[in-house]
Structure 1
Amino acid sequence: METFTLDTLSTTDYYYDDSIPLPNHSSFGQPSDPSDSSQGGWVILLVVNVVILLLGVFGNGVVIWIAGLKMKKTVNTTWYLSLAISDFIFCACLPFNIISMVTKEWILGLFMCKFTSFVMFLNMFSSIFLLVVISVDRYVLVVFPVWAQNQRTVRRASVVVVLAWAISVVLSIPSTVFRQVTTDGTTKCFNDYPYRNRHIIVAVSRFVSGFVLPLFIIIFCYSVIILRLRTNRMTRSSKPFRVLTALIAMFFISWLPYHVFIILESGASDQTSLTVIHEGLKISATLASANSCMNPFLYSFMGKDFKQKCWNSFLSTIENAFDEEERSSRSRRTSFSQADSKVHTNV
């Protein structure tokens, strides 16, 4: 079990030439025995995946429509548009997982086995890299306002987004190399690592590059931003920061359990431990996938008076959240530029 959701279709399907034998085949989300509790858990996971699919496709589709078509293209809308596209692609691929859960085997062939795994990791890496980019962008706005005012353009933001996606593609390639399809009573899409060490290296490298390093960068940027803003007291609204904070917190809360179980699994050597870990992986994988449908609703709840406007103003609250983000960015650039000018004048 090496990816989330679609890549967890076979939670115990590993084979090491020099290590433990192939455990019992067990597809993600479906029960390994006919007990009522297992059936109940399978049904819950199936329903949750359907809900994530519907909310994710609708919510991210709305964000793409607003940020891509209705609003003026800015640096901020470029960041959030790309983030919404990443989540939309992930959610659009969930039907393949649902089909496999219903049929209780992989019927889509080797290409789709590899492709769905690739898409899942592409979503993970692109999401966290974009959140890092947004955090660094906020850092630059606060620490280097004059430079940001002159150099922060939509074209350069687009180049940064392309680079983030390119790196995400490269880091997602291992998920295609080790995915295979086998038939042993039923057809399975599984991870075929030739050696246990290879499995451990892949799991740890993904944890470091897709979780630990981004977390440190984001913490550093936020620490500097908070100290600078408290010192200068030049921010008019904290709402854009609350939006970004909520997005980052949601990502790390959603993904931390998954990474922990993945690392534990790569080092497990007995069937009892694997069984417990795989149960945790089923839940943590679903939690990770749920992250992709939550962002649009975070935008909305951070907009003005969402609770009073509710459904009729769902679109306008998302647009207001983006508008306030842009106004806040312009305000910070102007405020810090004026402050720097005063300092130079006094000198």
Structure 2
Amino acid sequence: MHDQLVTGTVSPLTNESLPSCEPPYDNGRLPLVLLYSIVLVIGFPANLLTVYLTWLQVRRKNVLGIYLWSLSVCDLTYLFTLPLWAYYVSHNHQWPWSSTVCKLTGYIFFNNMYISIFLLCCVSCDRYVAVVYTVESRGLRRQRIAVLIALCIVLLVAIGHIPVFTMREGNATEGDRRCFEPSQDSVVIGFNYSRFVVGFLIPLLLLLVTNHGIMSNVRRSTGLRREQKARVCWLAVAVVVLFLICFAPYHVILLARAVMVNFHQTTDGTCHFMTTLYTPYTISLGLSTVNSAINPILYVLSSDNIRKELSRGLAQVCNRAQLRSRYDNSQNKIQPTKNSSEVNAAAETETNKDHQGPDRLGF
């Protein structure tokens, strides 16, 4: 689940056999499996819920809902690959399935990682435009444009990762089956440079600029309460911090490995460097999956309208549960009770309030 399907045993620098250049596959295995499991347990139900809640916002013509719904679907797809990676890591990095399954799983994994990153940028940019250019953005923030942008992101990232299916797979020894382990291939190293710049550095700068602009504008605002300002500023800071925690370690290690292979002159030194970085590299890749579990909480549940949708839904569930409990008790006591339809109507009247317009402050 890394850069190329199988770790080579021949150095591209000297063409010498490197039988001793074996990554420490056992190191970090337990924490990585635990990390994947925790992310899956938290992220799967959270994203299922937010896919539904954001779809309600899409139907109500909320522009930001397009990006949030796309992000939830992306993260949900991303999470489906985690059981395979957890099994692979727990079995000493031995891939038990076919080469096609390996390539397809890696393709989905990396596609959704970068689609998620670019959608996070779209969310921040949309919020920035809505907050800083409130009046001017009324004609620009349209659902049709948001749908087109989301589709373009998915298409471009999908096309950019097609080379995954053309990568050569080969085993170092008979029965040694690896899937997307680090490689020193020059094509892969060049690809890592572009991933660092396009997939991490540019999005990071975009997030810094847009969220700083949101914070500055909100602090100057005189029409917002102190708690509203605090919530917006907290969200802006949390967006950047989460991005750095989840994606910075992985992409920094990608860059360090690419630089090392390009400029180091000794095979032994390169091998030692690669094996030393292997465990931090696998942990950092696992850390990138945390983003898919936190996104529903950080972005979706910070939306006023979506919180209201969730509150209404929970209130209806609680009312129905109380109604059923009262009905059962009344039956046991053989006492007359209200007609269930009347109670349902009263519960609906109590919990269903008129939907307010688009979220304030762009979310």
TM-score normalized with structure 2 length: 0.71
Q: What pairs with 1:40-189 in structure 2 (closer than 5 Å)?
A: 41-69=28-56, 72-104=60-92, 105-178=94-167, 180-182=169-171, 184=173, 185-189=175-179
Contact 1:15 1:22 survives alignment (8 Å): yes
Quote the sequence identity (%).
25
Residue of 170, 187, 193 corresponding to 1:204: 193
Query: 1:275 maps to which residue?
Result: 275
The answer to whether the Cα contact below 8 Å between 1:56 and 1:292 also exists between their aligned partners in 2 is yes
SS at match of 2:2: helix
Shift of 1:324: 9.6
Query: 3-state SS of the aligned residue for 2:178?
Result: strand
Contact 1:87-1:123 within 8 A present in 2 as well? yes
Q: Is the 8 A contact 1:110 1:181 kept in 2?
A: no
Q: Which runs of 5+ in 2 are unaligned?
A: 262-268, 316-354
Alignment match, 2:242 = 250
Which residue of structure 1 aligns with residue 345 of structure 2?
none
Indicate if the aligned counterparts of 1:12 and 1:278 stay in contact, CA closer than 8 A.
no
Q: Is this contact kept in 2: 1:124–1:210, CA < 8 A?
A: no
Structure 1: how far apart are the matches of 2:257 and 2:293? 27
Specify the structure having the higher radius of gyration (Cα): 2
Q: Which amino acid aligns with 1:189?
A: C
How far is 1:171 from its partner? Answer: 2.8
Does the 8 Å contact 1:82/1:161 carry over to 2?
yes
Q: Distance in 1 between matches of 2:188 and 2:312?
A: 44
1:81/1:165 CA distance change after superposition, 3 Å: same
- How far the C-alpha of 1:82 sits from its partner, in A, is 0.9
Task: Report if the CA contact (8 A) 1:73-1:154 is conserved.
Answer: yes
Q: Which residue is 2:320 aligned to? A: none
CA 1:174–1:15: 2 relative to 1, 3 Å: farther
* 1:9 and 1:189 in contact (8 A); partners too: yes
Q: What is the alpha-carbon distance in structure 2 between the residues aligned to residue 245 and residue 314 of structure 1?
A: 29
- Structure 1 residues 214 and 303: CA distance shift in structure 2, 3 A: closer
Distance in 2 separating the partners of 1:57 and 1:246: 21
Amino acid corresponding to residue 56 of structure 1 in structure 2: G
Kindly state the Cα deviation for residue 172 of structure 1 after the two structures are TM-superposed.
Answer: 2.5
> CA 1:281/1:242 → structure 2, altered by over 3 Å: closer, same or farther?
same
> Aligned AA for 2:293?
C
Distance in 2 (alpha carbons) for counterparts of 1:150 and 1:261:
42
| Paired residue total | 305
Root mean square deviation of aligned Cα: 3.5
- Provide the TM-score with structure 1 as the length reference: 0.74
Asked if 1:221 is matched to 2:210, the reply is yes
2:257 paired residue number:
265
Q: CA deviation at 1:314?
A: 11
Change (3 A) 1:22 1:60: farther
User: C-alpha offsets along residues 257-280 of structure 1, whole Å, 9 cap, x if unaligned?
Assistant: 111112222325433222210021
SS at match of 2:288: helix
What CA distance in whole angstroms lies between the structure 1 residues aligned with 2:242 and 2:72?
A: 15
Offset, 1:61: 1.1
Report the 3-state secondary structure (helix = DSSP H, G, I; strand = E; otherwise coil) of the residue aligned with 2:125.
Answer: helix
